[in-house]
Amino acid sequence: MPVGGVKKKPGVGDAGQLPLGVTQNGICIPYRHRSLGGGRSGGDSRSKAPDRNSSSDVVPISAFRRGILAAMITDIHGRTFRNLRISLTAACNYACTYCVPNGKKLVPAESELSADHIVRAVSLLMAVGGVEKVRVTGGEPLLSPKVDAVLPALMRLPLQDVGLTTNGQFLLRKADMLIGSGIRRINVSLDTLDPRAFREIARSGDLATVLAGIDRMAAAGVQIRINMVPMRSANLDQVLPMLEYCLDRGFELRFIELMKMGHLRAGNQFNRDFLGMDELLETIGSRYEYARTDAPFDSTSVRFEIPGRGVFGIIANESEPFCASCTRLRLSSDGRLFGCLSSLRSHDIRPLLALPDGEAEAALVAVLGNALADKQPVRFQGEVTVMKFIGG
Ligand code: SAM
């Protein structure tokens, strides 16, 4: 069986055989990505670039089977997995002060998943785990050559949404691929509009290049969200300029409350720099009138509207924890699933990816049940791992 796709199934109409994409135990596996190598799919008409909005080529799991799977992978809080974050590589071209302690840039994990394996993992997680939305992240996803194969392949799967989280440094360089893939949403992590503060926080990169990349994507009609980690000692003075920059361009700014990940868990830097939702709102309220607005059930951000101007959000890990409604699952660049950002427990799915479909599906149900049990009941506790390893 080729990696990166799902074992070839007998076609519809083959007497006495299963319809396309349906395994012997009735689970549907999207079959498009048997392989990412365009030429290798040869004359198979099913490998044509599909309409993302159409799932007619994916035979649905039977309602009965779906019900059983849903019950098996749902916890007592009603949480299940809907959103998958994929760390394409652990490597990053930045060394942000809140992400790595010593300014040393992170390098790829010892053995990272291939593009084919990533797409196969997503196909299985869609079929077995009910994953509907995928975000490609890292490390820095645009640093990895795999992104050129993975992103367009994910765009062809019948997912509800495919997004990308990037520091933006390579947006210009990757513009043609990104626009060509049809991606609709990109989150850019940007903590300041001040070039000096930028270099102090990211310890690398060039602000003007990031801003030009954002403009290029926005001009192509890609929806931009900006993620900013507000920190008392580093960029408190940037809260209002960043908000104005985003409102002017129709971007949603999301403030991510500093999280006690990695070296921040020790406390000193965290306590010095943490800026909570109340203080942020006070700062914003000094210039703008805002009102809280609706956010989807499993949204991580609390959203606010500034009438006539736009919206902004706060990912209030500390001030308003959202663990109870979290539907996120993370796949690390070396093939481990994490059910919770606040847990060191991981579940290696690399061996599973080499199994025939039926066995892979059965094994994945058990793995997902365990990953779900790793979720915190109420609030983020902090963890020694850093986001770059497991996909921020
Ligand atoms: N390199 C990409 C980027 O910069 O967007 C993706 C990976 S980065 C780890 C994803 C997000 O995690 C970024 O928005 C970053 O600001 C955030 N992040 C990392 N460590 C954090 C921490 N300790 N607290 C809050 N946010 C953090």
Q: Does 264 sit in the ligand 1 pocket, CB within 6 Å?
A: yes
Residue 227 alpha carbon, nearest atom of ligand 1: 14
The answer, yes or no, to whether residue 23 has pLDDT greater than 70, is no
The mean predicted confidence, pLDDT, of the chain is: 83
Residue 259 alpha carbon, nearest atom of ligand 1: 24
Ligand 1: centre distance to CA 119 (Å): 23
Q: Does 167 sit in the ligand 1 pocket, CB within 6 Å?
A: yes
Q: Report the residue among 107, 165, 258 best suited for mutation to probe ligand 1: largest number of ligand atoms under 8 A from its CB.
A: 165
pLDDT reported for residue 143: 97
Sequence-ordered alpha helix ranges (H) in the chain: 63-72, 115-129, 147-156, 175-181, 195-202, 207-219, 239-249, 268-273, 277-285, 350-353, 357-373, 387-390
Confidence of residue 381 (pLDDT cuts 50, 70, 90): low
Q: Does 137 sit in the ligand 1 pocket, CB within 6 Å?
A: yes
Ligand 1: centre distance to CA 358 (Å): 36
pLDDT reported for residue 383: 54
The string of pLDDT tens digits covering residues 65-106 is: 666 776 778 888 888 899 999 999 999 999 999 999 888 888
Q: Does 140 sit in the ligand 1 pocket, CB within 6 Å?
A: yes
154-169 core/surface letters (b: 16 or more CB in 10 A; e: else): bbbbbbeebbbbbbbb
Residue 388 alpha carbon, nearest atom of ligand 1: 9
Q: By percentage, how much of the chain surpasses pLDDT 90?
A: 61
pLDDT reported for residue 357: 87
The string of pLDDT tens digits covering residues 317-366 is: 899 988 888 899 999 999 999 999 878 899 999 999 999 988 998 899 99
Sequence-ordered alpha helix ranges (H) in 52-192: 63-72, 115-129, 147-156, 175-181
Highest mean pLDDT out of 52-56, 59-63, 325-329: 325-329
Confidence of residue 38 (pLDDT cuts 50, 70, 90): very low
Question: What's the average model confidence in pLDDT over 199-214?
Answer: 98
Q: Does 116 sit in the ligand 1 pocket, CB within 6 Å?
A: no
Confidence of residue 129 (pLDDT cuts 50, 70, 90): confident
Phi-psi region of 269 (alpha: psi -120 to 50; beta: other; left: phi over 0): alpha
pLDDT reported for residue 110: 86
- Report d(CA 299, CA 247) in Å as an integer: 21
- Report d(CA 322, CA 331) in Å as an integer: 20
Closest C-alpha residue for ligand 1 atom 23: 259
The answer, yes or no, to whether residue 382 has pLDDT greater than 60, is no
pLDDT reported for residue 46: 31
Confidence of residue 62 (pLDDT cuts 50, 70, 90): low
- Report d(CA 349, CA 23) in Å as an integer: 19
pLDDT reported for residue 330: 96
The string of pLDDT tens digits covering residues 141-193 is: 999 999 999 999 999 999 999 999 999 999 999 999 999 999 999 999 999 99
pLDDT reported for residue 6: 37
Confidence of residue 37 (pLDDT cuts 50, 70, 90): very low
Q: Does 50 sit in the ligand 1 pocket, CB within 6 Å?
A: no
| CA neighbours closer than 13 Å in the CB half-sphere of residue 220 | 22
- Report d(CA 281, CA 386) in Å as an integer: 27
Ligand 1: centre distance to CA 392 (Å): 5
pLDDT reported for residue 10: 31
Residue identified by tokens 């059910």 is 339
Residues in CB range of 241: below 8 A, 6 or more apart: 193
The answer, yes or no, to whether residue 7 has pLDDT greater than 60, is no
pLDDT reported for residue 70: 67
Closest C-alpha residue for ligand 1 atom 22: 259
The answer, yes or no, to whether residue 278 has pLDDT greater than 90, is yes
Closest C-alpha residue for ligand 1 atom 25: 258
pLDDT reported for residue 125: 94
Q: Does 166 sit in the ligand 1 pocket, CB within 6 Å?
A: yes
Residue 92 alpha carbon, nearest atom of ligand 1: 1
Higher pLDDT, 372 or 344: 372
The answer, yes or no, to whether residue 123 has pLDDT greater than 80, is yes
pLDDT reported for residue 74: 87
The answer, yes or no, to whether residue 315 has pLDDT greater than 90, is yes
pLDDT reported for residue 153: 97
Complete edge-to-edge strand list for the sheet that includes strand 347-348: 291-293, 302-306, 310-315, 252-256, 223-228, 185-189, 161-166, 133-137, 83-87, 328-331, 336-338, 347-348
Residue identified by tokens 């947006």 is 171
Q: By percentage, how much of the chain surpasses pLDDT 70?
A: 78
